[in-house]
Amino acid sequence: MSLAAVSQVAAADEAVLEVVRSDDERLVSLPMPEGEGWCLEWNHSVEGFPVLDCYRHRDGRMVLERSHLPDFAAGLDHIPGRGIQVSDGEGGYWIENIDEAVPGNAYRLRVGSMRVDHRLVIDNTRISLSSLAENQRVTIRLTLTPDASEARQTQ
């Protein structure tokens, strides 16, 4: 997907999901209205299967809602008290109801190689962060537009 295809203009009352390099170069900028969600998907470094962390824009916050883990491979397990583990019906599991707000609405990620292929998933669209910033540090952030921030403060 071309860089032009991953940049859209947000309406004044929306938030924007952005991926930026450490020098503040914006790689991805997509409207992310209240209630909408996205996932970060990547291939497990040992087993190669896809893993998902899914977020939602909730009340002006980036909230980790759920994770999908197709196996109990290295580093993939459920932490008791952090969400509810349920079968996905295919040998893996979802951790539902994590509901953790991401501090500052942003986190840093060292984007993996194309073998790992970190990608944003929004509806049925996948944007490969590895093709845009392989082996680089980026920040994934939910940024409220000024109008949306002001509206929240007056509520």
In a domain, 91, yes or no: yes
In a domain, 154, yes or no: no
Q: What per-residue confidence (pLDDT) applies to 49?
A: 83
Question: What's this model's pTM, rounded to 2 decimal places?
Answer: 0.81
In a domain, 33, yes or no: yes
In a domain, 3, yes or no: no
Q: What per-residue confidence (pLDDT) applies to 73?
A: 57
User: Residue 35 burial by CB count (10 A; 0-12/13-18/19+): exposed, middle or buried?
Assistant: exposed
**Tokens describing residue 58:** 């909730």
Q: What per-residue confidence (pLDDT) applies to 47?
A: 72
Q: Which residue has the tokens 């921030």?
A: 149
The total number of structural domains that make up the chain: 1
In a domain, 99, yes or no: yes
Q: What per-residue confidence (pLDDT) applies to 117?
A: 97
Q: What per-residue confidence (pLDDT) applies to 91?
A: 80
User: What is the per-residue pLDDT across 133-147, written as a single tens digit (0 to 9) for each?
Assistant: 999 999 999 999 775
In a domain, 89, yes or no: yes
Q: What per-residue confidence (pLDDT) applies to 83?
A: 82
Whole-number Å distance between alpha carbons of 135 and 112: 5
Point out the residues of the chain with pLDDT beneath 70.
1-13, 71-81, 147-155
In a domain, 137, yes or no: yes
What is the domain range of residue 89?
10-146
Contact 37, 65 (CB under 8 A): yes
Q: What per-residue confidence (pLDDT) applies to 126?
A: 96
In order, the DSSP letters of 21-69 are ETT--EEEEEE--TT-EEEEEEE-TTT--EEEEEEEEETTEEEEEEEEE
Please calculate the CA angle 141-142-145 and round it to the nearest 5 degrees.
130
Q: What per-residue confidence (pLDDT) applies to 58?
A: 96
In a domain, 27, yes or no: yes
